[in-house]
Structure 1
């Protein structure tokens, strides 16, 4: 069966804030974390069946964007570079782009062909080469033959983290349904992570300097990085938690899944595998969750003398849960000393595990109906690879498994698929 969708993009338009700023354009100053993330992009799709979107026109879908952009004007701005070389965002109401597309296949045919892939349903979006004309956000509405709809988001990471991106789409859907904005995507019972103080080195190892592709804000890779999403059912996750680890009862699924994949990748790469990895978590240490888009992340490194490929799962789980070393203060110093001019890879500089478990990504609803499937990946990933872990759809009895999106060099990803299927039944 063909793996290419019959997609036809019919129109691209622009949505701007509902309240014109006129000549009162401002500037949004980017902090160190924004600048670290400037070469990365968050891409997501929400798939809805025909019942959820019946009688909704493209005008209906675009209308909520106008008031939504009033609350976060920098999202519809454009990047500029100051005389010193430090980027900032000009809040000039240039707008976000809306792409309209049609697919001559049904949602089921798409899922049979492409599984969970976002390719084709998210606009091909990279900043540059002329930053003054590069939108920071693209939203792509794709209508399927069956009447279903895909809402595809491409979000420049410089604007904010994955929770900010998903919160933006959630607020759009609530405005579409004439509901109040939700306060947050974070689940209230999320446990704040504990971090060890970092005193080993003044040079951060969770990022690396990047070479750009031409004049685009996209890092060059030494190998082709492919992406695949695994759906681990609630039964499979429970089996992992109870059978293959001897950890405490409060162990997170993220930690178990990350340990499992770390071990598999280490075996694939040989020579005992990567002994330094990066873990990215949401920063909720101040107890305040903001609706305003921002990069509110903690980047931590984990170093071990163990051989990950030969370690048992519980040892790796303990490392991930208890041995993270927060690099944020070093990263801030590192970026500011370069006056914000550097180009860096974060995701994939080292093998990177991204904890998105506390996000309710199924909070996006149209006509009160949840999407039948949500998926997300990250653009601009380095050669070491990235693993995203987030909640999957509810099963028939209300339990949720996990979606795990992995980006790795193509040959490694193929070997990982075989390994997970053979050894873990995934």
Structure 2
């Protein structure tokens, strides 16, 4: 069993929009992708040293939330169920929950024991059993003995994708630094569904990137057949150059997502043997140059990649090419699936098939306090199915100023242990950080 943080009893409070809406609360209608993601939660942590947070009280940290919630009112609302059974969000200013906790360890002691784990630094957040009283966002501030601080976000995926969650915390840090949220965020609850975005390489058959879910009681969380564990691997920028870079561009902005995904796909296929996945899901996001100014939304693109060959015996270059060139977008058939069920179906997305999530373009380290970047940022997804999920996101800056990658993997426990050994033996990627 992993060591505990020795956290003191937490204090829970609520932050609401600075400007009360009164009776003009309105409704926010959820589109098909929002509803597909309703059983999933994005969790992220940002660790700051004592220099970054000195002289900042909990009141100082909470203050930026009030004007921010004016800009995106539905995130402080609550889920309701219409007469037809389709969920929507009531924009009633019920607020975002803030949790304040203290740890009797230093930040370094915690990192030595827990490495990059998110557990305990993020509130145990699931919607239900009473949706009318379930916050869509929990933010947890944990003060360490050394004066360091962890900011932990639990974000209901029904609100928006991972980039929306990252941008929410980035805007909080900007507001904390007396930078007002961008005016383009100003928004009133909509009555129309968001128009989906589709790619040209679409398919028309039944989607494989989701599966019907089994709910646990009245909570919005699917049950698993096996225990799914999570571990984060840190690949430094120097280690990236030792990966098979012949399959990547020599440009300094090379996306390593495809190479890393192919490596792990091959390893997992070898672990599972004849049952190795020949079909996987690739999750990407429609990221524009102005994404930091966009309102929270689920701009996720879910694509299937499949091969007739055994991935465990395939050349890495073949898998890299499949991921880069042979993705088949399933969004339009996913929309049809949800709308045919009139929005009342329950689905698992992440882990329905082995899922690779591209977060390389996420501006994780754009979050600053007192001008200081976080010393470490990590993200995972709660509600992962038994097939597993792999997140590829930027790592902290190395001594040379370049970013490596953080690879957060959720798999059945025995498979995860085997993956740790294979990555270290075959690729020199150690599963311990220090």
TM-score range, shorter chain: over 0.9
Q: What CA deviation, in whole Å up to 9, does each residue of 1:87-144 have, x standing for no partner? A: 0000000000000000000000000110000100000000001100000000000000
1:359 aligned onto 2:362: yes
Residue pair 2:68, 2:181 contacting (<8 A) in 1 also? no
Q: What CA deviation, in whole Å up to 9, does each residue of 1:25-77 have, x standing for no partner? A: 11000000000000000000000000000000000000000000000000000
Structure 1 stretches of 5 or more lacking a match? 185-192
Structure-2 separation of matches of 1:45 and 1:416: 24
1:22 aligned onto 2:22: yes
Correspondence 1:185-196 to 2 at 5 A? none
Structure-1 separation of matches of 2:45 and 2:54: 19
Please state how far the C-alpha of 1:179 moved relative to its aligned partner.
1.9
Tell me the equivalent position of 1:198.
202
Structure-2 separation of matches of 1:88 and 1:336: 14
Please state how far the C-alpha of 1:170 moved relative to its aligned partner.
0.5
Tell me the equivalent position of 2:167.
167
The TM-score, its normalising length taken from structure 1, stands at 0.94
Tell me the equivalent position of 1:49.
49
Judged with a 3 Å threshold, the aligned counterparts in structure 2 of structure 1 residues 372 and 383 are, in CA distance, closer, same or farther, namely same
Judged with a 3 Å threshold, the aligned counterparts in structure 2 of structure 1 residues 363 and 334 are, in CA distance, closer, same or farther, namely same
Tell me the equivalent position of 1:189.
none
Residue pair 1:195, 1:324 contacting (<8 A) in 2 also? no
Q: What is the count of residue pairs matched by the alignment?
A: 414
**Which of these residues, 403, 406, 424, is aligned with residue 406 of structure 2?**
403
Tell me the equivalent position of 2:192.
none
Tell me the equivalent position of 2:311.
308
Correspondence 1:119-158 to 2 at 5 A? 119-158=119-158
Please state how far the C-alpha of 1:246 moved relative to its aligned partner.
4.1
Tell me the equivalent position of 1:96.
96
Structure-2 separation of matches of 1:248 and 1:14: 48
State the SS of the aligned residue for 1:7: coil
**Which of these residues, 277, 280, 293, is aligned with residue 277 of structure 1?**
280
The TM-score, its normalising length taken from structure 2, stands at 0.92
State the SS of the aligned residue for 1:349: coil
Tell me the equivalent position of 1:378.
381
Correspondence 1:71-86 to 2 at 5 A? 71-86=71-86
Please state how far the C-alpha of 1:272 moved relative to its aligned partner.
6.0
Please state how far the C-alpha of 1:249 moved relative to its aligned partner.
4.0
1:344 aligned onto 2:347: yes
**Greater mean alpha carbon deviation, residues 392-401 or residues 375-384:** 392-401
Structure-1 separation of matches of 2:54 and 2:375: 15
Task: Give the alignment's Cα RMSD to 1 decimal.
Answer: 1.8
Residue pair 1:75, 1:137 contacting (<8 A) in 2 also? yes
Tell me the equivalent position of 2:417.
414
Q: What CA deviation, in whole Å up to 9, does each residue of 1:158-216 have, x standing for no partner? A: 000000001000100110111244799xxxxxxxx9956234x5211000000001110
